[in-house]
Amino acid sequence: MNPHERFYEKVRTVADLSFAQQALEWDMQVMMPRKGTPQRAAQVAAVATLAHARMTDPELGDLIAALEADGSLGEAERADVREARRGYDRSVKLPERLVAERARAVALSHAAWEEARPKNDFAGFLPHLETVVRLTREVAEAVGTANRYDALLDEYEPGMTEAELREVFGDLKSRLLPLLDAIRGAPRRPDPSVLHRHFPKARQEAFSRRVAVDAGFDMTAGRLDVSAHPFTSGTLHDVRLTTRYLEDFLPAALFGTLHEAGHGMYEQGLDPARFRDPAGQACSLGIHESQSRFWENIVGRSRAFWSFYFKPLQETFPGTLDDVSLETFYGAVNHVAPSLIRVEADEATYNLHILLRFDIESDLLAGRVEPRGLPDLWRAKMCEYLGITPPDDRDGVLQDVHWSVGLIGYFPTYALGNLYAAQFRQALLAAVPDLEARLERGEMGAVKEWLNRNIHVHGRRWLAQELCQRVTGRPLGPEPLLGYLREKYAEIYGI
């Protein structure tokens, strides 16, 4: 076997182990009996340790070096070597003990979070969070970048730094706040109360499933289940979506499912010949979130979308929305108001939730705040950013799953996703000028086809900002998102 073949054999084995770990974690969150948590934690740790050993094999390092010196490689192969180098150099800095201990800790921590949130029991969750934060700080120190946050951010958004984020987010916030002020003083106010009627779970599931399939999610290569916090797992022909159903609040499942279907269609749209290769996988979490936020908001909250789907929605819930007009419903799903729960936030205030979490986790990772101080800090930041204060920790610091499973450095990718999505929207409209008319007819195929051709199939051939430049002809910036929000809310609110 020549070095080229040996390289791909080894990196694809690492990918397969990663997919196996994802399947174990999906089962833990969706299907596993609660008493199985300690066993599953040991299993996840064992697979993570095995994947780490394969990734840090000195032979793989030698193969990467040999291929780096091979001038005959094509663009896709060079990208694979680049990504393998990045992963190898990061992995060899992490002791096997730390990889196993952290994998076990986050499995136990997630189970503890699932129990703690409905009970509003931050004190019961705190020991697990302290362990996860301690081990995550160890990971950041071992990686050894200029600051701890950069070490973690690079795992989710390669090439991005905390300093760059502060500049991008600072610009976004300063330009977003005047729009929110204008909306608060607007002459028209949509009524969101129609979203809080009784919507039986089974009918929600049927409608959400229909919309996901109509958008292009392949249920023969995926499935839709329920979890405490919606997420997507798996890739290509085995993609698992989860959602949650609230019978007194329709958007939770409807837009949550569309969001996760966006993630799922990205994974199903990867190149089947390359999805196990280092650069054949998704580009970054920011690009991934651009796909979920695109379907959830730019498509799912558009007037054109509801021009087609409002009548089927009324038929799905007979008698529930018969007295509601399309205009009333469209206004309701685009109602802007500060809210406690991030995943239920409107498009205009959503990014403030992300900036809040970015500030907090930066302080947490740097040691400027310890886990025990998070509830008070959370309440203070909610008041500062959104002008409201959570009544308890369940709807405050405990609301998100991410920190329980060690996803510190992940939250910024949601705001980056909104920025990328708005920029991709402009490029899509230029390519498909009759897009709105198509959506009014319930035809979403052009959206999926364009996203697949321009984004999904390329995987990580280019880093996120280069992909953005290639697709849109310009670097990432806030104006496309702000312009989209201004245009949309000017029409809804009369500003």
Please enumerate in sequence order all residues whose Cβ is within 8 A of that of 327, keeping only pairs 6 or more positions apart, or say none: none
Q: Where are the domains of the chain?
A: 3-144, 162-493
For residue 146, pLDDT over 90 is answered with no
Q: Is 185 helix (H, G, I), strand (E, B) or coil?
A: coil
Average pLDDT over residues 50-76: 97
pLDDT (mean) for 264-270: 98
Q: What is the largest CA-CA distance in the chain?
A: 72
Tokens matching residue 176: 């977003």
The active-site residue out of 101, 114, 157, 260 is: 260
Whether the predicted pLDDT of 1 surpasses 90: no
The CATH number corresponding to 162-493 among 3.40.50.980, 3.40.640.10, 1.10.1370.30, 3.30.70.270 equals 1.10.1370.30
Spatial neighbors of 257 by CB under 8 A, at least 6 apart, are 208, 209, 211, 212, 224, 230, 241, 243
* Sheet containing 222-226, strands listed edge to edge, beginning at the edge strand earlier in sequence: 222-226, 238-243, 232-235
| pLDDT for the residue 382 | 97
Is 420's pLDDT higher than 90? yes
Q: Is the pLDDT of residue 106 over 90?
A: yes
Give the contacts of 13 (CB within 8 A, at least 6 positions apart): 54
Is 384 catalytic? The answer is no
| Assigned token pair, 428 | 């899509």
- What spatial distance separates the first Cα and last Cα of the chain, rounded to whole Å? 67
356-397 residue pLDDT tens: 999 999 999 999 999 999 999 999 999 999 999 999 999 999
DSSP secondary structure string for all residues of 363-427: HHHHTSS-GGGHHHHHHHHHHHHHS---SSSTTTTTS-SGGGGT-TT-THHHHHHHHHHHHHHHH
Mean pLDDT, all residues of the chain: 97
Residue 273 has pLDDT above 90, yes or no: yes
pLDDT tens digits for range 215-257: 999 999 999 999 999 999 999 999 999 999 999 999 999 999 9
Mean pLDDT of 392-406: 97
The vertex-268 CA angle with 266 and 269, nearest 5°, equals: 60
Confidence check: pLDDT of 163 > 90: yes
Helices within 144-228 (DSSP H only): 148-156, 162-184, 201-215
Amino acid at 72: S
